[in-house]
Amino acid sequence: MTKEVGLSHVTVEFGDYTAVDDAHLTIAGGEFFSFLGPSGCGKTTILRCISGFQEPSYGKLLIGGRDMRGIGPNKRPTALIFQNLALFPLMSVAENIAFPLEVRGVGKKERRRRADELLELIALPGQGDKRVDALSGGQKQRVAIARALAVEPDILLLDEPLSALDLKLRQHMRTELRAIQKQVGLTFIYITHDQGEALTMSDRVAVMSRGKIQQVADPATVYNAPATGFVASFVGENNMFEGRIAAPAGPDGTAEVDLGLGARVRVQAAPGLGAGEAVQVFVRPEALEPGGTAPNRLTARLEKVEFEGAMRHLLLRAADGTALRVSQVNTGGDAGPGPDAPVELGFAPAQAIALPPSELARAG
Amino acid sequence: MKPRGSLSAFAERNGIPVTLYLLTCVGIWVFLLVLLPQVTMLDYSFRANLPPSKVGGPEDVYTLEHYRYFLLGSSANPDGWNALDIGVLVKTLVAALFVTLFDLAICYPVAFLLAKGVRGGGARLLILALIVPFWVNEILRAFAFRILFGATGVLNETGMMLGLWEAPIDFIGSDVALYAGLGYAYILLMIFPLYNAIESLDSNQLEAARDMGASWAQVHRRVVIPYAKPGIASGCTMVFMLSAGALAAPQILGGPSNLWFTQLVYQWFNSGGNWPRGSAYAIILLVVCVGFVMFMMRVFRVSIGAIGR
């Protein structure tokens, strides 16, 4: 069974510090939903509110339409997977998995049966009598998931559970987590600072910064149409240019912008941005193309080429000192332009966006 | 010097003087302060009680007389067993065990609160509040308890004033004062091992257990206590050993009819003037206590190495 989770104007204050500022959103039953943001953005606090370790200072938290105020973490239909997993080292694997059943007074035989069933689900059959220490990182991960699933919660909460794993295993576990979610059909709420994780696994992502939710959307929208300067610069790489609206957006949704570095370009913009307003223009490194025929043109001097296997990154500097980054798929042979060469870059209006200036945006 | 073995490696790193100093200190500690007195005591316990003039004479032979006396009493004893002294030993052990459990019950919540409940300044203040009273010396503290629990003490006066009881209650005669005094004397030795053990427990484990539906009682039974077991064993061992071996508190706070086994030892050494018998009694107390602790550790499956952690 799945239940939707509602945050109704949830604010959490610690003394003078506002950890979560007016979070208002609904997570649908069965959804894989991620909170993405840098450390200290309030995402873990939201998770602790949902699990019951933290009461909101203001606002309401609803699970399946029911107000959760005053209901302890042991009475909520949620299960939390901790960053460090928090497996019990003195219990065997099966005892760990069956712990939630044990505290509910389920008999020993039934507990063991259910533990074996869950071990089957996480592809660790027959490993129930092992010590937790004897498992590898990925196996521990899966035991933690099995333990959380033992009492069939409605909502599974995951607090950066993959951060301790190495890169290969992390990528593998992403796929696996997603598969487990599809299989059990629960609502997964996932906390991470790793955009790769958030984008690959989630149905929807909430991007957070300094306690505020910046955008709630599906991964493609978050990447292609960031709602704020913070989202544009935090999710993926981005080139940022300061500029001013020269002509407000027309019916095609694009506006003309004078860039600080001395070029006039046509980019996506909200209709509300009037002529003369300061904006920040974001262009993805992979949207910038040396040469080409795109209508927006920039000139910059090549400083360095970073080679990264599948990709190649050109680091350039415009005449006014703005640093630029261009990412190209490595096609082999072509060595590309030499150092110090002037390079003309083009990008399409559809691949650039002008947003109101944000101090949280940092140039990619 | 050939760089061989950990000692020569240590000497090479820290210099010969430091090494010699350390070796001397450890040697004095182990040999002079621990081993020698115990061995002497052991030797004494097997000797006959002779006036100084006869020491080294033909009558100065090894004997089991004192151990026999502890078990069977004087040769004139009709019923065969030295029920009095054995009774005192058993009573001492039971009482020490009671004091230990009492301390464990009091200290566990305090240690848990200290380790997981309070943060920063609060914890420091609580530790200070625990330690400072122990600046008052033991004898003084024992007398303070006597005054507190006496017939005209604060407790009785208050109780009678409030009309809770009519006549003064004999707290001292019924050993309430003794248990309270002993229990209080060793709380730090219980709190700190517990605190050490619990403090290193990952707090996420508590939250994980809570999150999975465990009540607080279940969290403690299944997560905290198993984890803190070495600390519990360490604290209990210390409190038990020291309670069983306490002298000042039983002397001052014990009821007139109540003897602690250490008081028997003291009597043989002093008023009894029988050092060998006192030694034998001390050795008996030591062996029985160590045996009992080992047995309890076996029962609760704690290894001796775990206690040192």
C-alpha–C-alpha distance, residues A230 and A249, integer Å: 22
Buried b (16+ CB within 10 A) or exposed e, B13-29: eeeeeebeeeeeeeeee
Tell whether A72 lies on the interface with B, counting CB pairs under 8 A.
yes
B76 falls within a domain: no
Question: pLDDT value at position A337?
Answer: 66
Which band of pLDDT confidence, cut at 50, 70 and 90, is reported for residue A252? confident
Handedness of CA A330, A334, A340, A344 (dihedral sign): negative
Handedness of CA A288, A290, A295, A298 (dihedral sign): positive
B44 falls within a domain: no
User: Domain check: are B30 and B150 in the same one?
Assistant: no
User: Domain check: are B19 and B142 in the same one?
Assistant: no
C-alpha–C-alpha distance, residues A348 and A224, integer Å: 13
User: Domain check: are B185 and B283 in the same one?
Assistant: yes
Tell whether A86 lies on the interface with B, counting CB pairs under 8 A.
yes
Name the closest residue on chain A to residue B215, using Cα atoms: A74
Question: pLDDT value at position A363?
Answer: 45
User: Domain check: are B150 and B235 in the same one?
Assistant: yes
B65 falls within a domain: no
Q: Is the pLDDT of residue A150 over 90?
A: no
Regarding predicted confidence, which is higher, A308 or A98? Answer: A98
Which band of pLDDT confidence, cut at 50, 70 and 90, is reported for residue B290? very high
Regarding predicted confidence, which is higher, A111 or B258? Answer: A111
Question: pLDDT value at position B78?
Answer: 67
Distances (CA, A) of A155 to A34, A76, B13: 13, 9, 58
Tell whether A103 lies on the interface with B, counting CB pairs under 8 A.
yes
Question: pLDDT value at position B106?
Answer: 93
* CATH assignment of the domain containing B214: 1.10.3720.10
Mean pLDDT comparison of A127-141, B54-68, B100-114, highest-scoring range: B100-114
Q: Are strands A155-159 and A78-81 parallel, antiparallel or unpaired?
A: parallel
User: Domain check: are B92 and B200 in the same one?
Assistant: yes
User: Domain check: are B28 and B147 in the same one?
Assistant: no
Which of B211, B215, B218 is most worth mutating to test chain A (most A CB atoms within 10 A of its CB)? B211
Question: pLDDT value at position B190?
Answer: 93
Question: Quick check: B205 and A86 CB within 8 A?
Answer: yes
Question: pLDDT value at position B61?
Answer: 82
Q: Is the pLDDT of residue A364 over 50?
A: no
Of B204, B218, B222, the CB nearest to A84: B204
Question: pLDDT value at position B300?
Answer: 85
Q: Is the pLDDT of residue B199 over 70?
A: yes
Which of A49, A99, A133 is most worth mutating to test chain B (most B CB atoms within 10 A of its CB)? A99
Q: Break chain A down into helix, strand, coil percent, rounded to 5.
A: 25, 35, 40
Which of A85, A88, A104, A132 is most worth mutating to test chain B (most B CB atoms within 10 A of its CB)? A88
Q: Is the pLDDT of residue B257 over 50?
A: yes
Question: Quick check: B213 and A74 CB within 8 A?
Answer: yes
User: Domain check: are B191 and B291 in the same one?
Assistant: yes
Please give the distance of CA A295 from its chain centroid, rounded to a whole number.
32
Regarding predicted confidence, which is higher, A287 or B5? Answer: A287
Question: Quick check: B222 and A78 CB within 8 A?
Answer: no
Query: Average pLDDT in the A48-53 region?
Result: 91
Domain range for B106: 83-306
Beta carbons within 8 Å of B137's beta carbon, 6+ residues apart: none
User: Domain check: are B30 and B94 in the same one?
Assistant: no
C-alpha–C-alpha distance, residues A124 and B213, integer Å: 24
Q: Is the pLDDT of residue A3 over 90?
A: no
Q: Is the pLDDT of residue A91 over 70?
A: yes
B168 falls within a domain: yes
Question: pLDDT value at position A336?
Answer: 64
B68 falls within a domain: no
Name the closest residue on chain A to residue B223, using Cα atoms: A88
Q: Please name the residue ranges forming H helices in A167-320.
A: 167-184, 195-201, 219-224, 229-234
Closest Cα in chain B, distance from residue A293 (Å): 56
| A114 CB-contact burial (10 Å; exposed 0-12 / middle 13-18 / buried 19+) | buried
C-alpha–C-alpha distance, residues A188 and A182, integer Å: 10
Question: pLDDT value at position B171?
Answer: 83
Q: Is the pLDDT of residue B3 over 60?
A: no
Closest Cα in chain B, distance from residue A172 (Å): 25
Write out pLDDT tens, residues B204-224.
899 999 888 888 999 999 999
Q: Is the pLDDT of residue A66 over 70?
A: yes
User: Domain check: are B230 and B288 in the same one?
Assistant: yes
Can you tell me whether residue A187 is helix, strand or coil?
strand
Write out pLDDT tens, residues B119-136.
777 888 888 888 898 888
Tell whether B232 lies on the interface with A, counting CB pairs under 8 A.
no
User: Domain check: are B128 and B226 in the same one?
Assistant: yes
Tell whether B213 lies on the interface with A, counting CB pairs under 8 A.
yes
C-alpha–C-alpha distance, residues A171 and A197, integer Å: 8
**The three-state (H, E, C) secondary structure of chain B, written as one string:** CCCCHHHHHHHHHHCHHHHHHHHHHHHHHHHHHHHHHHHHHHHHHCECCCCHHHCCCCCCCECCHHHHHHHHCCCCCCCCCCHHHHHHHHHHHHHHHHHHHHHHHHHHHHHHHHHHHCCCHHHHHHHHHHHHHHHCCHHHHHHHHHHHHCCCCHHHHHHHHCCCCCCCCCCCCCCHHHHHHHHHHCHHHHHHHHHHHHHCCCHHHHHHHHHCCCCHHHHHHHHHHHHHHHHHHHHHHHHHHHHHCCCHHHHHHCCCCCCCHHHHHHHHHCCCCCHHHHHHHHHHHHHHHHHHHHHHHHHCCCCHHHHCC
Q: Among residues of chain A, what percentage have pLDDT more than 90?
A: 25
Which band of pLDDT confidence, cut at 50, 70 and 90, is reported for residue A202? very high
Read off φ and ψ for residue B208, nearest 5 degrees: -60, -45
User: Domain check: are B200 and B120 in the same one?
Assistant: yes
C-alpha–C-alpha distance, residues A343 and A301, integer Å: 6
Name the closest residue on chain A to residue B221, using Cα atoms: A103
Place of tokens 């959103």: A25
Write out pLDDT tens, residues B228-240.
999 999 999 999 9
B46 falls within a domain: no
Q: How far apart are the first and last CA of chain A?
A: 42
Q: Is the pLDDT of residue A247 over 90?
A: no
Query: Average pLDDT in the A123-130 region?
Result: 84
Can you tell me whether residue A272 is helix, strand or coil?
coil
CA dihedral B182, B185, B187, B189 (to 10 degrees): -110
Write out pLDDT tens, residues A272-282.
888 888 888 99
User: Domain check: are B19 and B110 in the same one?
Assistant: no
8 Å CB contact between A354 and A269? yes
C-alpha–C-alpha distance, residues A247 and A255, integer Å: 6
The number of domains in chain B is 2
B75 falls within a domain: no
Best CA proximity match to A260, nearest among A281, A239, A274: A281
B48 falls within a domain: no
C-alpha–C-alpha distance, residues A140 and A123, integer Å: 12
C-alpha–C-alpha distance, residues A212 and A12, integer Å: 11
Tell whether B210 lies on the interface with A, counting CB pairs under 8 A.
yes
Name the closest residue on chain A to residue B207, using Cα atoms: A53
Mean pLDDT comparison of A96-105, A176-185, B2-11, B251-260, highest-scoring range: A96-105
Q: Is the pLDDT of residue B45 over 60?
A: yes
C-alpha–C-alpha distance, residues B161 and B176, integer Å: 20
Q: Is the pLDDT of residue B1 over 90?
A: no
Question: Quick check: B208 and A86 CB within 8 A?
Answer: yes
Can you tell me whether residue A273 is helix, strand or coil?
coil
